Structure 1
Amino acid sequence: MPMQTICPYCGNTIITVTSHVPGVLSWLLCMGLFVFGCALGCCFIPFCVKSLLDVKHSCPVCQHELFCHHRL
């Protein structure tokens, strides 16, 4: 969820912009699926499920990354 905060870089009161990025959990699940025989593309499923991806919060004004919520 986006959150309201004051950006420490530009000093503006903002509502963060969130984006989902692959993290450690996604890569571990991908490698685990590949090892257990899902080599024909099924191992990439963790990159399509938003609840398995990390969430990056950034400032909409200066584009700096403020926080990253890691799933693992």
Structure 2
Amino acid sequence: MPVQAVCPYCGNRIITVTTFVPGALTWLLCTTLFLFGYVLGCCFLAFCIRSLMDVKHSCPVCQRELFYYHRL
């Protein structure tokens, strides 16, 4: 979810750009599904579910990373 903020790097009032990045929770679920016998690539479904991924917030003006939300 984008957030309204003032960028500490460029000083502009912005709404952050969010990018979903696979994190520890995504990899943990993928590994768990693989170990329990989910074959045919089903273990990679974790990489398609945004609620399992980490979120990177960045400034749309200067492109700097402002915050990184870790799910796990």
Shorter chain as denominator, the TM-score bin is: over 0.9
2:31: which partner in 1? 31
The offset of 1:40, in angstroms, is: 1.9
1:47: which partner in 2? 47
Structure 2 unaligned runs (5+)?
A: none
The offset of 1:4, in angstroms, is: 0.9
The offset of 1:41, in angstroms, is: 0.4
CA distance in 2, matches of 1:39, 1:23: 22
What do you get for the CA RMSD once the two structures are aligned?
A: 0.8
SS of alignment partner, residue 60 of structure 1: coil
1:11 matched to 2:11: yes
CA distance in 2, matches of 1:8, 1:40: 46
SS of alignment partner, residue 39 of structure 2: coil
Residue-by-residue CA offset, 1:45-70 (whole Å, 9 max, x unaligned): 11001111111100000111100111
How many equivalent pairs are there?
72
- Matched AA of 1:24: A
Show structure 1 runs of 4+ deviating over 2 A: none
CA distance in 1, matches of 2:54, 2:6: 22
The offset of 1:39, in angstroms, is: 3.2
CA distance in 1, matches of 2:30, 2:51: 14
